[in-house]
């Protein structure tokens, strides 16, 4: 073996020994530094992007406690008839020997930190889309669970209506009457006495269509003044009327030409037949459910305006409240929501209206007057 081999052997031996006894093999591994990563919701991300912080309130939502108003005339010193009875001064404490209840109430666990979340965008399906298109459910609609469990055959299931049935009856919530009767039976057994006046006065589920003409309706004062459609009566200008007819006709013809409705002036100006007005009243009334309204909202008349498509369907983003009467803003909002549900619930398939008079019913102003329905 050459001296070089000895030297190489010794150097390798020394290097290996250094590694084993004093090198990195005996050292603890260095700790990894890990950054916390969390998934945030899209709402939080939106807030971060918009550089706004969510509104967080630690207040408990309003509990609508009993309103307590101090009397203006100091009730603490009532001027009553007399004070003939001599009463002891100070409260008398019950003697310690008195029996106390064996069970004391536990402290009620408080609900704290009620927070109002910022508005959340859910990319929900647009209402107008579903109002003008057949409903697309996520599961095949047949068989319906309700049909399997219903004791009797259901005349017009919702899903059939939703898939394009044209009959107006199909637009009503069908099972409601039967289930209401069931609930009443379960909840109020022997109380159905003749003396329960309000139960006896309960309005029928089948609405009665009134023959009230629109002109005679009660209207909120806050509603904008309607345009005077029939103001210029031809009879009021007997001598000249015949002379200006050609001018008026020409002006009207020009106006018609610029209008969206491709109907003749005669059809546009003709009043809608009573049967169509009644049909629309009936259809909306069937879905105008006042059963979950507050007493205040039941005393509120709301006027709602909407536009219809040519096939008589409400255009969702045109439905708005023009005004209200008889309540505050909150009750008006609740009453409007109820009206909205009625319009959209029973108008989804389109109201039965003559297509050649589209210009007459393209815009509809509905006055929802619960006078006959309210809780007195």
Partner 1 sequence: MKRLIYFGVLAFGLWTGAGMAQNGPLRIEITDGVIEPLTFAVPMFEAENIEAVTIATEMSRIVANDLSSSGLFREVPPSRFIAQRSSFAEPVRYPDWRAINTQALVTAAVKTTSFGRLTVKFRIFDIYSGVQLGSGMQLSGSTKAVRRMAHKVADQVYARITGEGPYFDSKIVFVSESGPKDQRLKRLAIMDYDGENLQFLTGNENTVLAPRVSSDGQQVLYTSWETGFPQIYLLDVSSAARKRLPTPDNGMAFSPRFSPDAKRMVYSFEQGGNTDIYLMDLASARSARMTSSPSIDTAPSFSPDGRSIVFESDRSGTQQLYVMPVTGGTPKRISFGNGRYGTPVWSPRGDLIAFTKQSNGRFGIGVMRTDGSEERLLSASFLDEGPSWSPNGRVIMFTRETQGPKGAPSLYSVDISGRNLRALNLRSPASDPSWGPVLP
The residues in 258-297 that bind partner 1, with binding defined as CB under 8 A, are 259, 261, 265, 268-269, 272, 277, 280-281, 284-297
70 scored as a contact of partner 1 (CB under 8 A): yes
Over the window 208 to 227, marking each residue x when it contacts partner 1 by CB under 8 A and - when it does not, the resulting string is xxx-x-xxxxx-------xx
52 scored as a contact of partner 1 (CB under 8 A): no
Q: Measuring CA to CA, how many Å separate 26 from each of 11, 12, 348?
A: 21, 19, 78
d(C-alpha 293, C-alpha 252), whole Å: 46
Q: For the chain, first and last CA: distance in Å? A: 120
Q: Considering only CA atoms, which of 237, 233, 230 is closest in space to residue 271?
A: 230
Give the burial class of 141: count Cβ atoms within 10 A of its Cβ; 0-12 exposed, 13-18 middle, 19 or more buried: middle
Dihedral pair phi/psi, residue 201, rounded to 5°: -90, 5
User: Which one of 9-17, 20-28, 29-37, 362-370 is the stretch in contact with partner 1 (CB under 8 A)?
Assistant: 362-370
CB of 31 to partner 1, least distance (A): 26
Q: Considering only CA atoms, which of 353, 266, 271 is closest in space to residue 307?
A: 353
- Interface with partner 1: number of residues (CB under 8 A): 180
d(C-alpha 209, C-alpha 211), whole Å: 7
Residues numbered 297-326 forming contacts with partner 1, rule: CB under 8 A: 297, 305, 316
344 scored as a contact of partner 1 (CB under 8 A): yes
CB of 35 to partner 1, least distance (A): 22
User: Which one of 5-13, 15-23, 28-36, 330-338 is the stretch in contact with partner 1 (CB under 8 A)?
Assistant: 330-338
Residues numbered 185-204 forming contacts with partner 1, rule: CB under 8 A: 187-188, 190-191, 193-199, 202-203
Among the listed residues 47, 309, 337, 352, the single contact to partner 1 using CB under 8 A: 337
User: Which one of 1-9, 15-23, 24-32, 355-363 is the stretch in contact with partner 1 (CB under 8 A)?
Assistant: 355-363
**223 and 321 in contact (C-beta within 8 Å)?**
no
């Amino acid at each position: 073996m050459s001296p070089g081999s000895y030297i190489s052997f010794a150097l390798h031996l020394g290097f290996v020994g250094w590694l084993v006894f004093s090198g990195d093999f005996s050292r603890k591994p260095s700790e990894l530094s890990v950054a916390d990563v969390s998934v945030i919701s899209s709402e939080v991300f939106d807030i971060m992007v918009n550089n706004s912080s969510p509104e967080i309130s630690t207040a408990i939502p309003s509990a609508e406690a009993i309103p307590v108003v101090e009397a203006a005339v100091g009730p603490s010193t009532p001027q009553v008839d007399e004070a003939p009875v001599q009463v002891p001064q100070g409260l008398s404490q019950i003697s310690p020997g008195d029996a106390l209840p064996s069970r004391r109430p536990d402290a009620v666990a408080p609900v704290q930190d009620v927070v109002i979340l910022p508005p959340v965008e859910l990319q929900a399906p647009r209402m107008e889309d579903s109002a003008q298109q057949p409903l697309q459910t996520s599961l095949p609609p047949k068989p319906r669970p309700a049909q399997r469990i219903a004791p009797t055959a259901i005349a017009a299931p919702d899903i059939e209506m939703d898939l394009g049935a044209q009959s107006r009856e199909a637009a009503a919530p069908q099972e409601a009457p039967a289930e209401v009767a069931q609930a009443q039976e379960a909840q109020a057994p022997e109380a159905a006495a003749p003396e329960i006046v309000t139960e006896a006065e309960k309005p029928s589920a089948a609405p009665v269509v009134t023959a009230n003409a629109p002109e005679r309706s009660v209207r909120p004062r806050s509603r904008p003044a309607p345009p005077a459609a029939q103001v210029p009566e031809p009879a009021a200008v007997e001598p000249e009327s015949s002379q200006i007819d050609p001018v008026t006709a020409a002006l009207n013809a020009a106006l018609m030409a610029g209008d969206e409705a491709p109907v003749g002036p005669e059809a546009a100006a003709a009043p809608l037949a009573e049967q169509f007005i009644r049909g629309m009243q009936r259809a909306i009334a069937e879905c105008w459910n006042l059963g979950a309204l507050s007493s205040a909202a039941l005393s509120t008349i709301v006027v709602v305006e909407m536009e219809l498509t040519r096939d008589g369907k409400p255009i969702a983003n045109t439905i708005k409240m023009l005004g209200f009467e008889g309540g505050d803003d909150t009750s008006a909002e609740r009453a409007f929501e109820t009206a909205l549900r009625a319009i959209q619930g029973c108008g989804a398939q389109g109201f039965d209206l003559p297509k050649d008079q589209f210009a007459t019913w393209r815009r509809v102003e509905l006055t929802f007057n619960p006078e006959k329905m309210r809780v007195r």
